[in-house]
A and B are shown apart, each in its own frame.
Chain A
Amino acid sequence: GPKVLQIPSHQIIDMGQMVTLNCDPVSNHLYFYWYKQILGQQMEFLVNFYNGKVMEKSKLFKDQFSVERPDGSYFTLKIQPTALEDSAVYFCASSPTGASAETLYFGSGTRLTVL
């Protein structure tokens, strides 16, 4: 089936550094999401993105977070600067048009460890 690719699968960085998580959504999908999961528990919504704009962001999407998808390339989540509490697995997802009935297609996640 359709695949969402996330690069890298693991990232270890020192607190205060910048990190960029990359997501290659399903081809022709227009709606993109980032979710944060800590210790295999709840999938917490961070942000969704459509047509070059953030549509909604949660309280977890701090000022240090930003997303973009320049020229149809990777959909990225940037954290600058990172904090210890940013350690988690970050999942990217996409859907064709963002219609309410559509399912989300998830990547395999990027495990971020902030030291």
Chain B
Amino acid sequence: AQKVTQTQTSISVMEKTTVTMDCVYETRDSSYFLFWYKQTASGEIVFLIRQDSYKKENATEGHYSLNFQKPKSSIGLIITATQIEDSAVYFCAMREAISNTNKVVFGTGTRLQVLP
């Protein structure tokens, strides 16, 4: 069964610094996709970045990048040069490629607070 675990409940960082949020996952599939979403204070949920399990290169998207360590089943989100507006709850999620139901499983989220 799929499972996604985010152990960090809350993180505070100073503006313009770099932050890493952890995520580990469990799956029996050899092929899967990992996602990070951001939920703002208004409740809006937006997609940030995706890592395909078969790709060795870490995905990057603007000031977001991923630290994909497949042997450890780990997919950390790195935000560089953080800004106040990065304050939000960040969710890690996974979808198995072979599954015929396309369920996307989410972690419990990490609340990031960026301080001025």
Residues of chain A whose beta carbon lies under 8 Å from any beta carbon of chain B: 31, 33, 35, 40-45, 48, 50, 55-56, 89, 91, 95, 98-101, 103-106, 108-109
Answer yes or no: B115 CB below 8 A from chain A CBs. no
Q: Once the chains bind, are A100 and B33 in contact (CB under 8 Å)? A: yes
Which residue of B is nearest A4, CB measured? B45
B84 vs chain A, min Cβ distance (A)? 19
Which residues of chain B (35-65) have a CB below 8 Å from chain A?
35, 37, 39, 42-47, 50, 52
Alpha-carbon separation in the docked complex, A109 to B40 (Å): 12
Chain A residues contacting B37 (CB-CB under 8 Å) are 104, 106
Report, as a range, how many residues of chain B touch the other chain: 20 to 34
Alpha-carbon separation in the docked complex, A32 to B108 (Å): 21
Which residue of A is nearest B105, CB measured? A45
- Known A101-B52, A103-B35, A103-B50: A45·B103 in contact at CB below 8 Å: yes
Chain B residues contacting A91 (CB-CB under 8 Å) are 45
Chain A residues contacting B31 (CB-CB under 8 Å) are 100
Chain B residues contacting A55 (CB-CB under 8 Å) are 100-102
Alpha-carbon separation in the docked complex, A91 to B87 (Å): 21
Q: Once the chains bind, are A100 and B95 in contact (CB under 8 Å)? A: yes
Q: How many interface contacts (CB-CB < 8 Å) are there between A and B?
A: 64
A40 vs chain B, min Cβ distance (A)? 7
- Known A100-B33, A100-B102: A43·B91 in contact at CB below 8 Å: yes
- Known A40-B89, A41-B109: A104·B104 in contact at CB below 8 Å: yes
Q: Once the chains bind, are A98 and B102 in contact (CB under 8 Å)? A: yes
Answer yes or no: B30 CB below 8 A from chain A CBs. no
Answer yes or no: B13 CB below 8 A from chain A CBs. no
Q: Once the chains bind, are B106 and A42 in contact (CB under 8 Å)? A: yes
Contact of A108 among B44, B52, B102, B107 (CB under 8 A): B44
Q: Once the chains bind, are A101 and B108 in contact (CB under 8 Å)? A: no
Q: Once the chains bind, are B33 and A108 in contact (CB under 8 Å)? A: no
